[in-house]
Amino acid sequence: MKHTNCTKTVGLLVIALALQTPIGAQDIVLSEIRADNSQRWVEIHNRSNASADLSNWSLYYATSTFAMPQTYWWPFPAGTTLPADGYLRVMWFQNPPAAPAPGDYYTGTSIHGFLFSLGGEILHGHAGALALIDSQLGAHMGTPSHFVDWVSWGQSGFVREQLAVANGRWDDGTAAPAIPDSRSLARNEALIGAASQHVDEWFLDATPTPHGPNTAGVVVHEYGTACTVPGHHLVGNPMLRTTSLPLLGNPDFGFVVENTTGFFGESMLLVYSQAAAPTGLPSLLPYFPGSTCAESIHTGLILTSSVRSTDFAATHVGLPLSNCTAAIAGLELHVQAMVFDWLPNAYPPFQGISNALMVVIGQ
């Protein structure tokens, strides 16, 4: 399903919601990185409810650049504090202007601005690694417990990466995607401590948000129950998921329905509604003996729908948000899929229905 006009596709309903990120034990974190010819910076976020003193902390950058030191440390200046739920941005390997903006720090380009007289390199979008270290002492740069946070992108295996692995801040052999021009590598902080691997906390953001949250307003909430009818030929209950975060500007957003077969003339109806089904709403699904399937979305408030043939194992439906205007932020959608057969005299004609998702588009 290709969409050229996002607003027309998803309707005009706008609801203001926000995603509250829980505060975890890992309070001071790397939040967002941009590394192209236009901008090169590192954002740091204090997730706690107390101000943090970073006077003795350092930011570590590892590269794979041939004939260069490949390891660089920049010390946070004395008196650097990060307020509760505050952000700061480090403009890496750049000289400061006459009047830096509040919350922006510049490393400079002289070796004297870096620890251990190694100087620095520009941030490379194709590959690199960054760490937050709660020390500026050389003796601590080989101690895992001082590596508070870490991210590798483009490749793995950077110098000192194993120290972060040993401290539980990264997973061996993993790397976030390379950072393309005009995008940032951003963190979904709601996944800190919840994702199966640290790399899953990171995504490519088409709308960088320095000095602010990366997933403001994003909601993906699953409800309802997926089910099949007796005699179905699906692999299992059709499970509806999102392919990535519903963020304004994300060209990769969409849905996937798992456990489809792609055979027997099987098709899928994906329906977008304005709300969940209220109690007592009659089902529109055809009656089939032994089936308890029912819609979880409000069938009286349908915005739009689409039909497509299914694929083996999983069926993807793209809903790119790259051409959307800012007015679409906050849009609430309730989505559910039904799988059925087009073939004449197919039995049973109705195969199953997915769980439902409430999705709110963030920015």
Summarize pLDDT for 197-216 with one digit per residue, the tens. 999 999 999 889 999 999 99
Write b or e for each residue in 245-256: b if 16 or more Cβ atoms lie within 10 A of its Cβ, otherwise e: bbbbbbebbbbb
Q: Give, in degrees to the nearest 5, the angle at Cα 254 between 174 and 12.
A: 140
- Is the per-residue pLDDT at 363 higher than 90? no
Question: Do residues 185 and 32 touch, judged by C-beta distance below 8 A?
Answer: yes
Where does the chain hold its CATH 2.60.40.1260 domain(s)?
A: 28-205
CATH topology of domain 28-205: Immunoglobulin-like (2.60.40)
Asked if the 6-13+219-360 domain carries CATH number 1.10.3720.10, the reply is: no
pLDDT in tens, 315-335: 999 999 988 888 899 999 999
pLDDT in tens, 266-292: 899 999 999 999 999 998 887 777 778
pLDDT band for position 344 (cuts 50, 70, 90): low
Q: Give, in degrees to the nearest 5, the angle at Cα 213 between 26 and 32.
A: 70
Give the model's pLDDT for residue 350: 85
Closest CA to 208 of 31, 23, 26, 7: 31
Distance set, CA 105 to CA 50, 75, 251 (Å): 21, 11, 31
Give the model's pLDDT for residue 17: 26
User: Counting Cβ atoms within 10 Å, is residue 150 exposed (0-12), middle (13-18) or buried (19+)?
Assistant: buried
Which residues are 75's β-sheet partners? Answer: 58
H or E element at residue 109: none
Name the residue with tokens 């003796």. 139
Give the model's pLDDT for residue 41: 98
Q: Which distant-in-sequence residues (6+ apart) come within 8 Å of 80 by Cβ?
A: 53, 54, 55, 57, 88, 105
Please, what is the average pLDDT of the chain? 90
What's this model's pTM, rounded to 2 decimal places? 0.78
Where does the chain hold its CATH 2.60.40.10 domain(s)?
A: 6-13+219-360
